[in-house]
Structure 1
Amino acid sequence: MKLASLKSRRDGALILVSRDLTRAVAAGFVAPTLQSAIEDWEAVAPELRALAARLECGLRESFPFREQDCASPLPRAYQWADGSAYVNHVALVRKSRGAEMPESFWSDPLMYQGGSDVFLGPRDDIPLLDEKYDLDLEAEVAIVTDDVPMGVTLEEAREHIRLVMLVNDVTLRGLVPPELSKGFGF
């Protein structure tokens, strides 16, 4: 099942997209937005799966899918926690700014909170005020969860996964070293 959000309201309008990315169907009668679907996942997921199956069978109410009409699947989220799980990538990024990689990264990956107030759509321009900030674009895997209680086990955490997505992560590499040198205010 492929979910997307059309540009409309602040949180988009939920649609389902065919596997071959050529057709789509409005899903607002099931859930108006992807965020609302996630918040009521147990109730709406079966309806969304049924609608996706009908779309694959040639649903008459479908329309041509156009990526450029889409917002981010989740135009904004309650939290963006970015985990640096690919140690080779971490080593290369740290090397590029002359920083050593701590040995603990092999057993205790870095995780930080990023901005989640607005996510760009798949074909949106990336605003950059000044090239000195050295824009870097990375392809990443995103895991979307419902509410995960603090202290859950690994097995329990798996039960909270709702979606797996591909995401473009934008980092301003020229802005990172001066910000890190401030020590997050501590």
Structure 2
Amino acid sequence: MKLASLRSGRDGELIVVSRDLSRAVKAAPIASTMQQVLDNWGIVEPRLQRLYAELNAGECDGQFTLDVEVLSAPLPRSYQYLDGAAYLSHIRRNRAARGEPLPDDLLDKPLVYQGISHGFLGWNEDVALPSEDLGIDFEAEIAAITGDVPMGVSAEAACEHIRLFVLLNDVSLRSVIPGELRRTFGFLIGKPASSMGPIAVTPDELGQLWVGCLVGGTMQCWVRGEQVGRIETGIDTPFHYGHLIAYAAQTRAFEPGTIVGLGTVSNEDESAGCGCIGEIRALETLNHGKITTPLLRFGERIKIEHIDRNGQTVFGCIDQRFVRMAPLQA
């Protein structure tokens, strides 16, 4: 099943989207927002699946041509956003370029931080920030959206609590993050609001891409119109989504609508390119001794799209420009 949200208020208006992303139908009266679906999954999911089948068969009353331009983030506000760094080549390259050692327990437990869980930007919204000097970067990811998750869940059982997947741009401020980490209290201002692709997809809809609690396929990334990454997302990590969920759930239960990212996608094979500028710059440092790729400037764009084995988009794309924030009103 594929779901999305029309721009409406703070939480959007839920729609069901056809498999080929050409048509849609409003989900009311089954559910009016994505959060309502997640809160009542056992009741509303079968009804939404029936509506999805009718839509794909062309037998659905009220269907309309889908205009992705009017879609918001599928889940604009979440109760919790947890993001990891699970792809080892991404961790190794960045730390090596900074001359930092790897954690001794890197293979024993995942690296996870808690980010801003409200105000997710839509796929085509400008990312407004106060200054280019913050070191603006994107990070290409696929994130899971969970239902209720009990405290103490195992990594294997945790995968059963995943309801949806979305494309994610985890915006990072490279000039801010190192100073924050040196204070040993984690990210804060170095991680502003993130962005989501327009389409949320259930695990069953992924078909053969959903293997071993990982999402396969190819993440394509462009910076300033130049393709910088064609990264296989289902390999090169010792951790899957269940591991990250179980790690955080050791001491907390999750509310429905918790977002869990696996981190910037990365392959051991350097020819696959990179899912963020930070990793490009790390490879330049390691391979050539100097950085030549600049971080993002206002007016510049990035694009992220994840495609299946047939070259078809899975979640739609993220296509965003970075701009200077408007001055505050007196």
| Mean CA deviation greater in 42-51 or 19-28 | 19-28
In 2, distance between residues paired with 1:69 and 1:10? 14
Amino acid at match of 1:12: G
Higher deviation after alignment, 38-47 or 13-22: 13-22
Give distance in 1, aligned partners of 2:28 and 2:135. Answer: 39
Residue 84 (structure 1) aligns with = 85
Matched, 1:176 2:168: no
d(CA) in 2 for partners of 1:129, 1:94:
27
Query: 1:128 and 1:170 mapped to 2: Cα distance?
Result: 11
Where do 5+ consecutive residues of structure 2 fail to align? Answer: 187-330
**Structure 1 counterpart SS, 2:133:** helix
Between the aligned partners of 1:97 and 1:75, the Cα distance in structure 2 is 34
Q: What SS does the corresponding residue of 1:183 show, helix, strand or coil? A: coil
User: Residue type matched to 2:151 in 1?
Assistant: M
Report how far residue 4 of structure 1 moved: 0.5
After superposition, give the CA deviation of every residue in 1:32-56 in whole Å (9 maximum; x if it has no partner).
1111100100000001111111111
Partner of 1:126: 127
Matched residue, 1:45? 45
Distance 2:77 2:35 in 1: 9
Q: Which moved more, 1:72-81 or 1:93-102?
A: 93-102
How far apart are the structure 2 equivalents of 1:73 and 1:99? 37
Q: Which structure is higher in RCO with an 8 Å CA cutoff and minimum separation 6? A: 2
Distance 1:96 1:174 in 2: 15
The Cα of 1:92 is off from its aligned counterpart by: 2.3
Q: CA deviation at 1:99?
A: 2.6
Displacement of 1:93:
2.8
Show the counterpart of 2:2.
2
Give the secondary structure class of the aligned counterpart of 1:127: strand
Distance 1:98 1:13 in 2: 47
CA distance in 2, matches of 1:155, 1:101: 26
**Cα displacement (A) at 1:60:** 4.2
TM-score (norm 1): 0.92
Residue aligning to 1:56? 56
Report the equivalent of 1:65. Answer: 66
The answer as to whether partners of 1:75 and 1:120 remain within 8 angstroms in 2 is yes
How big is the shift at 1:65?
1.2
Give the alignment's TM-score, normalised by structure 2: 0.54
1:9 Cα shift? 1.6
Matched residues in 2 for 1:176 and 1:96: separation?
A: 15
Runs of 4+ deviating beyond 6 Å: none
Shift of 1:69: 0.6
1:13 corresponding residue in structure 2: 13
Please give the secondary structure, in 1, of the residue aligned with 2:127: coil
**1:104 matched residue in structure 2:** 105
CA distance, structure 2, for counterparts of residue 29 and residue 105 of structure 1: 47
**For the Cα contact (< 8 Å) 1:137–1:168, is it kept in 2?**
yes
Residue aligned with 1:184, SS: coil
2:125 aligned partner, one-letter code: D
The one-letter amino acid paired with 1:29 is P
Secondary structure of the residue aligned to 2:19 is coil
1:72 touches 1:120 (CA, 8 Å); kept in 2? yes
**Hey, what does 2:217 align to over in structure 1?**
none
In structure 1, the partner of 2:238 is: none
CA offsets 1:123-166 (integer angstroms, 9 cap, x no match) = 11111211111222122111111121111122332221111222
Note the C-alpha offset of 1:96: 4.2
**AA matched with 1:160:** H
The 8 Å contact of residues 97 and 177 in structure 1, kept in 2 or not, is answered as no
C-alpha RMSD over aligned residues: 1.6
Amino acid at match of 2:171: V
Q: Does the CA contact (< 8 Å) of 1:15 and 1:25 recur in 2? A: yes
Residue 29 of structure 1, CA deviation: 1.1
Name the structure 1 match of 2:194.
none
Match of 1:23 in 2: 23
Match of 1:71, SS?
Answer: coil
Find out whether 1:152 has 2:150 as its counterpart.
no
